[in-house]
Amino acid sequence: MSEAPHSNDKATMDDLLKENRLFEPSAEFKKNAVVNDEGIYASASANPQAYWVEHAKSLEWFKEWDQVLDWKPPFAKWFVGGKLNASYNCLDRHVKAGLGEKLAILWEGEPGDEQRLTYNDVYLAVNKFANGLKKLGVSKGDRVAIYMPMVPEAAYAMLACARIGAIHTVVFGGFSVDSLKGRILDADAKVLITADGGWRRGKIVPLKQTSDEAVDGCPCIEHMVVVRRTENEVSMQDGRDVWYHDLVADVADFCEPEPMDAEDVLFILYTSGTTGKPKGIIHTTGGYMTGAAATTKMVFDLKDDDVFWCTADVGWITGHSYIVYGPMANAATQVMYEGSPDYPERNRFWKIVEKYKVSKFYTAPTAIRAFMKWGTQWLEGSDLSSLKLLGSVGEPINPEAWMWYHEQIGKGRCPIVDTWWQTETGSIMISPLPALVATKPGSATRAMPGIDVRILTDEGKEIDKGGGYLAIKSPWPSMLRGIWGDEQRYRDTYWGRWPDTYFPGDGVKRDDDGYLWLLGRVDDVMLVAGHNISTMEVESALVDHQSVAESAVVGITDELKGQAIAAFVILKEGQNGDDAMTAALKQHVAEKIGAIARPKNIIFTAELPKTRSGKIMRRLLRDIAEGRALGDVTTLADPAVVQSLKDKYGDS
Ligand code: PRX
């Protein structure tokens, strides 16, 4: 969108795709909901600070704050002077309240092994781990890197750091040697916590080996703690490496939780996005915990007897906020699964839902589209009747994928919460409150109470309807506090576009009913014959065709129109990518959106290049579609995919 000139009075992005289906929550859902008073929106916007204070008070503070907010743009401090501890709020508080025997984590390994862990179990493990870290010389403010499979010890490690005031930085277990090394060096981490390996699609991911190679170039690392998971042969370096089970064998059962200032750093999490050097996003304790805890309860309508399952990895912000801190601050019972959704078969998730009677299920559109592609036969034989609510996060969800989720997984009964947020926002910002907002397939609906969302044009003029840039006008407690070691980049990236306004980098439109539709990253907008067309809308139109499983759309240079549309398309199994299909898809898009959006090229492919968190790398697709040389592919989930696309189409 940045390359497009705009006049002040015109919506910045053309609003092309219309969706009018509306789904009301049932009367019964409304009656029993955690939040069922519509007045919450008005009261939160009338007095946001009072609203957030109310939520902060649902945590336990060692000392209350003296001031709710200190806002010197772009720097916010929330609950100034308050003292608390995140691990205490996730564990001690519940044990003291008599919930020690409540199940905290229903863990399932990919090979089928399981552990049912109570709050007492997790409490003990975290206390011991915290004492173990202290023994290694870790103290308040030190950075600890965590590179782990999805095992309970990953959560213990995070909470153990939080307990002693060490700053954790979790690195997704699928990242390479270089990515791990870069993050450890940037954070200047003293200890790395890893495992011998983890299970993924029946194979061992050699985490210790990768750690060894990464740490070779990291003089800052003094110790490595290794959790035994896969029992594969690993080399342990004398004096540096220690097994987790040895570390905690002879330590005390209790570790005093460090009283942390509300603004003390809780963690750093690196976000790579699709371009540029990873940014170490900083989150602090009081505001982050307030946001994570409040949104978990409200958005997922969390009740005492729920079984919550967020399928994200702890290496992403979703795993931080909606596996570790949010659910555990609410004493939730949750499922944690180590492996892949298609191992040993494509029904693994549904077997897990049935087995643990999952009631609230939170996953990503990329997973939903994979399930659609695999077909509904994989749902047969699994009882999904325990489900009460479904969530989506990470990308815009196409209306067709939304409808499939609603009908096939939710069986038409379950409200869907499409939640928009970012690593930087810390917690959910735009989402329906499930008892209050009727949903439309593909729309994230409206801002959460207390969140000041606006739509701006290039010049910063606010518009009520139509498309433009998403902007957030006022600070919120769980907002990022900076980029580790790079204040200027923090100012430039997020606050440089308009005065004192947060710029998330996404496009959004508001329809006639006031509903918000996320349109993807603004650099994913095409300018075709003077119209700004969102890649998202064309992709949705393509996925709407019965033969299409997934698509990614990019703008390519076109002499006539400025940009033309190239569409990469993955067909459903059994479909043929021939000329007739190409013509049918072009026609379908023209019918759904208008002739303006008719793709010039349709490129059939078996896979799409994605970042490790599942986001499509459009920059690469653009290079391929325009036949340019490929750029940096080190963050690709599967570089071979791009190479094969390029071999096939790079010169066309
Ligand atoms: O473009 C938006 C997209 O994901 C970006 C944030 O990515 P990340 O920091 O990795 O966090 C992902 C998990 C919160 C956003 O700028 N995004 C996330 N959720 C949605 C979304 N786009 C549309 N709809 C969503 N529900």
The CATH number that applies at residue 601 is 3.30.300.30
Q: Label the pairing between strands 333-337 and 307-310.
A: parallel
pTM beyond 0.85, yes or no? yes
Residue closest by Cα to atom 24 of ligand 1 = 396
DSSP class per residue in 387-454: --EEEEESSPPPHHHHHHIIIIISTTTS-EEEEB--TTT-S--B---TTT--B-TT--BSBPTT--EE
534 CA from centroid of ligand 1 (Å)? 16
**For the segment 234-281, what is each residue's pLDDT rounded down to a tens digit?**
999 999 999 999 999 999 999 999 999 999 999 999 986 545 578 999
Q: What's the distance, CA 310 to chain centroid?
A: 10
* Range of weakest confidence among 338-352, 364-378, 555-569: 555-569
Mean pLDDT of 330-337: 98
Instruction: Give domain status of residue 609, yes or no.
Output: yes
For the chain, what is the mean pLDDT?
A: 92
**Confidence band of 7 (pLDDT split at 50, 70, 90):** very low
Rg of the chain in Å (alpha carbons): 24
Cα–Cα nearest to 302, from 428, 211, 188: 428
Please report the pLDDT score of residue 459 as a whole number.
84
Cα–Cα nearest to 353, from 342, 364, 345, 361: 361
Alpha helices in 300-342 (DSSP H): 317-319, 326-329
> Which atom number of ligand 1 is nearest to the Cα of residue 520?
1
- For the chain, the domain total comes to 1
Measure the CA–CA gap between 145 and 182, rounded to whole angstroms.
Answer: 11
Please report the pLDDT score of residue 3 as a whole number.
30
Q: Is the CB of 428 under 6 A from ligand 1?
A: no
Instruction: Give domain status of residue 608, yes or no.
Output: yes
Q: Is the CB of 502 under 6 A from ligand 1?
A: no
Instruction: Give domain status of residue 618, yes or no.
Output: yes
Q: Is the CB of 395 under 6 A from ligand 1?
A: yes
Instruction: Give domain status of residue 103, yes or no.
Output: no
Q: Is the CB of 425 under 6 A from ligand 1?
A: no
Measure the CA–CA gap between 239 and 158, rounded to whole angstroms.
Answer: 23
Q: Is the CB of 468 under 6 A from ligand 1?
A: no
137 CA from centroid of ligand 1 (Å)? 37
Instruction: Give domain status of residue 403, yes or no.
Output: no
Does position 560 have pLDDT exceeding 80, yes or no?
no
**Confidence band of 17 (pLDDT split at 50, 70, 90):** low
Residue closest by Cα to atom 6 of ligand 1 = 422
392 CA from centroid of ligand 1 (Å)? 10
Question: Given ligand 1 and candidates 267, 369, 420, which is best to mutate, with the most ligand atoms within 8 Å of its CB?
Answer: 420
Mean pLDDT of 637-647: 67
Q: Please identify which residue in the block is written with the tokens 């009520």.
A: 464
Q: Is the CB of 420 under 6 A from ligand 1?
A: yes
Measure the CA–CA gap between 148 and 171, rounded to whole angstroms.
Answer: 8
Please report the pLDDT score of residue 651 as a whole number.
38
Q: Is the CB of 444 under 6 A from ligand 1?
A: yes
420 CA from centroid of ligand 1 (Å)? 6
Contacts of 477 (CB under 8 A, 6+ apart): 52, 55, 56, 78, 79, 286, 287, 288, 290, 291
**Confidence band of 597 (pLDDT split at 50, 70, 90):** confident
Q: Is the CB of 211 under 6 A from ligand 1?
A: no
> Which atom number of ligand 1 is nearest to the Cα of residue 431?
26
Residue type, 371: F
Mean pLDDT of 521-536: 75
Residue count of the chain: 652
Q: Which two tokens stand for residue 288?
A: 């982050």
Does position 525 have pLDDT exceeding 80, yes or no?
no
Question: Given ligand 1 and candidates 281, 395, 428, 610, which is best to mutate, with the most ligand atoms within 8 Å of its CB?
Answer: 395
Instruction: Give domain status of residue 434, yes or no.
Output: no
DSSP class per residue in 490-526: HHHHHHSSSTT-B--SEEEEE-TTS-EEEEEEGGGEE
75 CA from centroid of ligand 1 (Å)? 23
**Confidence band of 396 (pLDDT split at 50, 70, 90):** confident
Instruction: Give domain status of residue 547, yes or no.
Output: yes
Q: Using the Cα atoms of residue 464, residue 465, residue 468 and residue 469 in order, give the sign of their dihedral.
A: positive
**For the segment 429-478, what is each residue's pLDDT rounded down to a tens digit?**
999 999 999 999 999 999 999 999 999 998 899 999 999 999 999 999 99
Q: Is the CB of 313 under 6 A from ligand 1?
A: no
DSSP class per residue in 530-568: TEEEEHHHHHHHHHTSTTEEEEEEEEEEETTTEEEEEEE
For residue 419, which phi and psi values (nearest 5 degrees)?
-105, 120
* Range of weakest confidence among 173-187, 194-208, 321-335, 431-445: 173-187
The percentage of residues in the chain with a pLDDT greater than 90, rounded to a whole number, is 79
Question: Given ligand 1 and candidates 171, 393, 416, which is best to mutate, with the most ligand atoms within 8 Å of its CB?
Answer: 393
> Which atom number of ligand 1 is nearest to the Cα of residue 505?
16
Please report the pLDDT score of residue 36 as a whole number.
95
16 CA from centroid of ligand 1 (Å)? 22
> Which atom number of ligand 1 is nearest to the Cα of residue 423?
9
Q: Is the CB of 363 under 6 A from ligand 1?
A: no
* Range of weakest confidence among 12-16, 27-31, 101-105, 232-236: 12-16
Residue closest by Cα to atom 23 of ligand 1 = 396
Greater confidence (324 vs 605) lies with: 324
The answer to whether 504 touches 77, Cβ cutoff 8 Å, is no
Please report the pLDDT score of residue 2 as a whole number.
33
Domain of residue 625, residue span: 525-649
Residue closest by Cα to atom 15 of ligand 1 = 422
Please report the pLDDT score of residue 8 as a whole number.
33
Instruction: Give domain status of residue 393, yes or no.
Output: no
Q: Is the CB of 418 under 6 A from ligand 1?
A: yes
Please report the pLDDT score of residue 73 as a whole number.
97
Q: Is the CB of 521 under 6 A from ligand 1?
A: yes
Mean pLDDT of 480-485: 97
Q: Is the CB of 613 under 6 A from ligand 1?
A: yes
> Which atom number of ligand 1 is nearest to the Cα of residue 419?
26
523 CA from centroid of ligand 1 (Å)? 14
